[in-house]
Structure 1
């Protein structure tokens, strides 16, 4: 017996005092009151008792890493259902899944398992943390078990560390093994090459692979996507080696892939391909991203001896390893759509963390009109692109038509659905508009539903939450129904500029009907239509959506990433609400800030043919300004992170370059700006050198100092910024501090996991940042060949250390939960008892029911009752005798009341006459005593 909140027991002292001073009317009420108060105090103190029970918690730990066999998720869900079917009353089931991360897919409960929904990262097996998380979900001192559904492969901490915790808690760890077959696994074990070389240097690339038996193997080695070696190889059983020789060329990063293929079917084909990155030191080129077929700007830079590489968006790999080939990036009048969300995220991180540079030039496909508003690139530019009301000349009426069909309920990253992001994009359109603009929303499946009727934005702001909570309702989107209702709504708008944004699934847009005729009427009414299609241009209804946008005199965007929707909605609104590219000749004046970038002065004595209207950020340096009503920045620069950002608002090569392009100093000014953006390659000087090499799953970075000058070279410990990126994911940044190994060497180990590419930058306070070549693992550690004694036996060791077992009968796990004493609070029962006692006390005080006794029977009444009972018995006996022919004389046991009463009365009267009058004194006392004795004699 224990008290969970013993502090409340102190109430017993004042309670006892009150009961002592305030007496009750009876002992019973006192007892009832004492018991009720005692029960209440014990309940408040948390009285609990320990009772043995088998009711417990089972936690399933599911392995969702890439090494698991196909169809594993379905098998794991079936196993969880089997365990749940064996639950008894009071039992609870929980589910934890692990990969690179840990996810609690179901907290302890009795409900059904809804399936795995959280992403855990497939390229690691953090089994130890998965078990620790499971143990934390079993209440202390309560019975429970853990069952692991895994292949036993693990990364990170040793799972046996969790076994001691489980044993201490008395929790057994069971397992069911789910794994791919290990036989006949042909696998590349490792691949080696220099992490960094110089241009023109020859080097050796060596690979080792395991073959389960002697067999013929085909191999192929490619460099930057081009095959440089391929042949057959007679492999022996065991470890084999392949050696290649290559020569580096231009500075940058070379990406090598080695592929091998055996004669037999391979159960783990993922480890038959290995990747290797080799960096080449030296000055890197500038990448110019352009959609122009005329390379006038590029030729201008090349004429000034700037190494520049032109490319269209589809030709560039915007991964970290791809960007590491360049010193800087110029985006020349190219829309954001061609780069994509992940590409823009990588560019922003690459500039901020590695010391690279970014320059954006103007045009109708750049800045706001190009879709860079609210994009990952906007924050690293020295100008902003918001819609400022003071620069709006016309109000706008806009209607957003949203697809809310069944496909919009599909989940995306971040725990959201496609519908959630479409709602967010619609709300962002509302936020971009001014108070006098008009706005409405229609949701469409097989019919149209007005969500917000068109009205001024200052009124419809109140419906923002309603927009954000729209839900997918099933069915498909009927295009004609959507356009008809949207056109009817927007035609009621007061502004002359009227626009429709149609959002639809490019693979599920049905019933267009007479949309062509409808769009003709819209054109005559001055209504434009833009389309945002979820999907790509190869989807079945993509051509229909493109045709709608073309006939509606609007824009058409496609995206397969629902995360892009807010930016695309904003881009279209941006263009309609205000064309931020001003295509009029505008005079420009240089500012002193331009000299800090170019180290010389320039006169811009001719107007530009047009520019993108933006706004200078507070921290940026103004290099040139327009001489019009806006005083807008024409050239602006700043330092962003350890990188550089520059905005040139004019078009550098094209129709809107204007007379400025013929200015004598125009080319010199542009090339000076590009040189500043490109920067200088990091150089630690002759007294310091940095190296890196791969050791297992870690990149070891070392900073070597001249021993004679080591003390004077380092004032503070250098730091390392590691930028890591995985295909399809946003880049991540980690910061580290180097430590001394000895008096002249500092080092750091950077962990690498999965398919990550890691691009590290060493920051030495006295020398500046130095970017190192990117590094990676050959393939995901999940596909490494099985290590005997490590991967295959860890589950058995876990079970043996915790008294668990290989679980065949999953439903029977509940029977093996040990019986343990469980602390059961009894407070609610004590309160119930106190209420019952209180009611009894009230009942006793009102009715005295509990203490009421039967009235006493006088002696003469008892005697008379006895005589009556005897008379009845004699009469009954006489009747029986009469029937038998015998006579019985019945005594008259009942005296005649008329005779008896007068006799008594006479006797009483006689005594009365004989009684002397009593008086005071001795004679009176004697008379009273005699009278009392006579009365006693009469009663007898």
Structure 2
């Protein structure tokens, strides 16, 4: 069977035929060669193809990368892929799909080598159905193919039998190789059921089902928030055994329960011996006050006297995660430095406010707002104030010299293709950006000796040297502290700025040669030069004491961070403290604005002044309920809505040295209580027309919205939206919107996949109503590791193979010989072009040599000698009857006569000995006696004689 893939080109045959007819070539063979060449070219352009049987095809390897796989599974899977590559035929291709929580194409079908597993697929689930569907999309419809599954057969989510049905319909077989852990002796927790919420002082039951492969005695231990609640041992039988526990809910908080079991023998799957669950205690609205004073804070006493339920904790004791904060309706930060909460904690706090509808209140002071390090922090985006001062508020000239550690430790990577040195360079650039055009900056890089990168000069001139700062690289060795400080001091003393400051950046675990640093710092202090230190590491590192003492003697701040990502923010924080007027000291009057009524305030007249305030400026869209009456006209009370939540700031100090006369005001308790009550917002209203439910099953959280089936009117003001907050330990949170789908006329449902290392908080937003927050949920452990599922996995793989005509693969290379035979179209275009090129060259050769015409003439001579034996002796000898050395001369003469040029007469040569001369050969009667006549002349004369005999 043949076809043309682009038949439109066949229309070129018509103009090609017309051209050959109008402009014929001189020889018959040339005309034939030219015609066939044109036909071949047209067929090649039309893409002539023939259909042939073919067994080559595609094998897609589906590799299970979930947590239930054996430790050496990845190496075994790669070895099988290499074996497939070595045994395939030239036209065969191999593709790879890896799957866990999601399926990812690791390698498209190709004839090259597999580069290895690189994608992150999530190890807590096995989306086998999604992986099979992805593999099917990689097999072309016209090509033969098979799927090879390398897995233990355990799956979560959709049943893979649906994907197997689609594979069978396409004729694609699913083979498998079973790779699984040995599960003999596996003791594990099959389920751990804890209520999602409870009221204060409410008793509740917790149930766990424990799987045991045989009769034995197990040990168990139950923990609540890390403390042992119950422990003991119990005799269990083969199969499932139920364990029950009872507890009493405290007044508030998020409770994390962990159950541990241990069998008598070594366990091959220890991951399922530990399960966790969360319980939210919900009572009266609660306000968390984070204050260094803790319970002794005067602000806490005032708020409690105002009737609020207040939980007071020191900032370092608070779990700054979105799930832990769900126990509170609002958080109040009483002059808490940003470094105490940390970058991840600040991001958690901001997302908690924006995503759950909770509230946040901040009070000011010397360690609050910009002075406390909130400038360019993750929390700044939700504040109703901007912390950066306009240029007209920069009243002092500033000179800063930055001394950077560029020792070998700074070359360590920190992710994203960056090193510690890159982040230190970025922090230095932030110093450059925060200074005014008339301020001065200098940069020194230090290892065992100082290296001047940027000379001390005005910012407007050094701005062009930004690239030089960003290109500083680690050069090895360690940092010599005295060399860094002395070089920075020499440079800064050249400045005449009103404020002169040094920022020393060093590794807290690798700071060497301090030398006479105390005497040097004493001279700097006498000259009015301050020194701050940014230490990469923790206060427990070996050289941290030295860095802290340098900052203390230098009259500056000392910052430590174990996360290199925090370095640029710390540079900005220290520069902001030095170069900006962050806190205004002194008694300052303020007044209320009409916006106070939005907060519920109703004060008449001017209140007592504050003893100082943080200089901040109102953001567009925010409102101010109180403002200073000095030249700055700065907001004292500002508020707005951030996402779903509320944020309020009081820029004065609530309890401390700078509280001022406001602290003795007889209505100060009412003032602070009203602000805090507004921050806590509207409480979640009861919804009698709908019921929320969330359930954990099959590795996912099912969130359902049940509507009253007897409702008379539509109770939803619009399409609800479910927001999911993902919390992981030590990582910034993630916020996503999950679609809700109608399952029936009265049921909306959303399915949220879960991972064992994360906690999810779901918030339902209904237009026109306050957001509804559900209790945090988590998986007990990866559903991949549930005990007693080994037989289920092997049975699943066998069913997939049986449904599609596949089988278990013992000998991997044989899969190529069992690919289905498919007929494929073989395109002849290259061969047609090649044939056309050969014929074209033959035409050129014929044009210049006439070798085909000469061969035909010789054949005609032989036929004439056979047909007319009586005339054989009378025929004049042709060019082919002369010696070989004279044949080309005869052909050349024939070509010249045809082209109208006179033939060159050559003198007759003597024949070979014993042979007569050519002129002596007898001529036939009536034949022209032309010496040197060509084959064409002989043929023409023969034709004329034949015509005369026939009377034509």
TM-score with structure 1 setting the length: 0.78
Cα 1:82–1:422, aligned 2, differ >3 Å: closer, same or farther?
farther
Displacement of 1:323 in angstroms is 0.8
Equivalent residues in 2 for 1:181-200, closer than 5 Å = 181-200=182-201
Among 681, 684, 687, the alignment partner of 1:682 is 684
Retained in 2: the 8 A contact 1:753–1:781? no
Retained in 1: the 8 A contact 2:447–2:480? no
Equivalent residues in 2 for 1:826-837, closer than 5 Å = none
Displacement of 1:55 in angstroms is 6.9
CA distance in structure 2 between the aligned counterparts of 1:224 and 1:442, rounded to whole angstroms: 48
Among 869, 873, 881, the alignment partner of 2:913 is 869
Q: 2:737 maps to what in 1?
A: 734
CA distance in structure 2 between the aligned counterparts of 1:38 and 1:419, rounded to whole angstroms: 69
Equivalent residues in 2 for 1:112-123, closer than 5 Å = 116-123=117-124
Retained in 1: the 8 A contact 2:739–2:750? no
Retained in 1: the 8 A contact 2:405–2:507? no
Cα 1:40–1:276, aligned 2, differ >3 Å: closer, same or farther?
same
Displacement of 1:265 in angstroms is 1.8
Displacement of 1:792 in angstroms is 3.1
Displacement of 1:90 in angstroms is 6.8
Retained in 1: the 8 A contact 2:482–2:515? no
Cα 1:764–1:410, aligned 2, differ >3 Å: closer, same or farther?
same
Q: 1:911 maps to what in 2?
A: none
CA distance in structure 1 between the aligned counterparts of 2:391 and 2:593, rounded to whole angstroms: 27
Among 758, 761, 784, the alignment partner of 1:759 is 761
CA distance in structure 1 between the aligned counterparts of 2:80 and 2:584, rounded to whole angstroms: 64
Q: 1:274 maps to what in 2?
A: 275
Displacement of 1:546 in angstroms is 4.5
Equivalent residues in 2 for 1:355-434, closer than 5 Å = 355-386=357-388, 388-393=390-395, 394-399=397-402, 401=404, 403=406, 405=408, 408=411, 410=413, 412=415, 428-434=430-436
* Higher deviation after alignment, 260-269 or 725-734: 725-734
Displacement of 1:320 in angstroms is 3.0
CA distance in structure 2 between the aligned counterparts of 1:92 and 1:445, rounded to whole angstroms: 54
* Higher deviation after alignment, 35-44 or 373-382: 35-44
Displacement of 1:331 in angstroms is 1.3
Among 335, 339, 342, the alignment partner of 1:340 is 342
Displacement of 1:645 in angstroms is 0.9
Cα 1:148–1:740, aligned 2, differ >3 Å: closer, same or farther?
closer
Task: List gaps (5 residues or longer) in structure 1.
Answer: 872-892, 901-940
Among 587, 592, 612, the alignment partner of 2:614 is 612
Q: 1:292 maps to what in 2?
A: 293
Displacement of 1:592 in angstroms is 1.1
Cα 1:165–1:490, aligned 2, differ >3 Å: closer, same or farther?
farther
Matched, 1:240 2:284: no
* Higher deviation after alignment, 140-149 or 225-234: 140-149
Among 638, 657, 660, the alignment partner of 1:658 is 660
Q: 2:331 maps to what in 1?
A: 329
Task: List gaps (5 residues or longer) in structure 2.
Answer: 855-886, 894-904, 921-952
Displacement of 1:287 in angstroms is 0.6
Displacement of 1:40 in angstroms is 7.0
Displacement of 1:82 in angstroms is 5.7
Residues 163-196 of structure 1, C-alpha deviation per residue, up to 9 Å, x if partnerless? 3455566655554443322122212222334433
Retained in 1: the 8 A contact 2:62–2:96? yes
Matched, 1:221 2:255: no
Cα 1:712–1:425, aligned 2, differ >3 Å: closer, same or farther?
same
Residues 30-52 of structure 1, C-alpha deviation per residue, up to 9 Å, x if partnerless? 78877787777767666667777
CA distance in structure 1 between the aligned counterparts of 2:478 and 2:146, rounded to whole angstroms: 49
CA distance in structure 2 between the aligned counterparts of 1:71 and 1:142, rounded to whole angstroms: 33
Displacement of 1:785 in angstroms is 1.7
Displacement of 1:208 in angstroms is 1.8
Matched, 1:65 2:66: yes
CA distance in structure 2 between the aligned counterparts of 1:612 and 1:377, rounded to whole angstroms: 17
CA distance in structure 1 between the aligned counterparts of 2:407 and 2:799, rounded to whole angstroms: 52
Retained in 1: the 8 A contact 2:717–2:766? no
Matched, 1:855 2:889: yes
Match of 1:359, SS state, is strand
CA distance in structure 1 between the aligned counterparts of 2:167 and 2:84, rounded to whole angstroms: 20
Q: 1:878 maps to what in 2?
A: none
Cα 1:739–1:82, aligned 2, differ >3 Å: closer, same or farther?
closer
Cα 1:327–1:9, aligned 2, differ >3 Å: closer, same or farther?
farther
Retained in 1: the 8 A contact 2:439–2:458? yes
CA distance in structure 2 between the aligned counterparts of 1:590 and 1:478, rounded to whole angstroms: 54
Match of 1:856, SS state, is helix
CA distance in structure 2 between the aligned counterparts of 1:405 and 1:2, rounded to whole angstroms: 68
CA distance in structure 1 between the aligned counterparts of 2:433 and 2:374, rounded to whole angstroms: 17
Retained in 2: the 8 A contact 1:447–1:481? no
Retained in 1: the 8 A contact 2:30–2:846? yes
CA distance in structure 1 between the aligned counterparts of 2:86 and 2:474, rounded to whole angstroms: 33
CA distance in structure 2 between the aligned counterparts of 1:532 and 1:686, rounded to whole angstroms: 56
Cα 1:828–1:410, aligned 2, differ >3 Å: closer, same or farther?
farther
Retained in 2: the 8 A contact 1:506–1:536? yes
CA distance in structure 1 between the aligned counterparts of 2:71 and 2:230, rounded to whole angstroms: 33
Cα 1:573–1:109, aligned 2, differ >3 Å: closer, same or farther?
farther
Match of 1:644, SS state, is strand
Cα 1:720–1:432, aligned 2, differ >3 Å: closer, same or farther?
same
Match of 1:326, SS state, is coil
Q: 1:630 maps to what in 2?
A: 632
Retained in 2: the 8 A contact 1:752–1:777? no
Cα 1:39–1:230, aligned 2, differ >3 Å: closer, same or farther?
same
CA distance in structure 2 between the aligned counterparts of 1:637 and 1:672, rounded to whole angstroms: 13
Match of 1:855, SS state, is helix
* Higher deviation after alignment, 820-829 or 326-335: 820-829
Match of 2:369, SS state, is coil
Retained in 1: the 8 A contact 2:401–2:444? no
Residues 777-810 of structure 1, C-alpha deviation per residue, up to 9 Å, x if partnerless? 3222122124355323333444455555555566
Q: 2:322 maps to what in 1?
A: 320
TM-score with structure 2 setting the length: 0.77
Match of 2:218, SS state, is strand
Retained in 2: the 8 A contact 1:216–1:233? yes
Equivalent residues in 2 for 1:529-608, closer than 5 Å = 530-540=532-542, 542-543=544-545, 545-546=547-548, 549-550=551-552, 553-601=555-603, 603-608=605-610
Displacement of 1:359 in angstroms is 0.7
Matched, 1:254 2:288: no
Displacement of 1:675 in angstroms is 0.9
Displacement of 1:351 in angstroms is 1.6
Match of 1:348, SS state, is helix
Residues 697-732 of structure 1, C-alpha deviation per residue, up to 9 Å, x if partnerless? 555556666777653754545544343323344233
Cα 1:672–1:488, aligned 2, differ >3 Å: closer, same or farther?
closer
CA RMSD of superposed structures (Å): 4.8
CA distance in structure 2 between the aligned counterparts of 1:405 and 1:40, rounded to whole angstroms: 67
CA distance in structure 2 between the aligned counterparts of 1:173 and 1:475, rounded to whole angstroms: 55
Displacement of 1:478 in angstroms is 4.2
Residues 309-343 of structure 1, C-alpha deviation per residue, up to 9 Å, x if partnerless? 11122211223331111111011111222223332
CA distance in structure 2 between the aligned counterparts of 1:405 and 1:669, rounded to whole angstroms: 55
Displacement of 1:411 in angstroms is 6.1
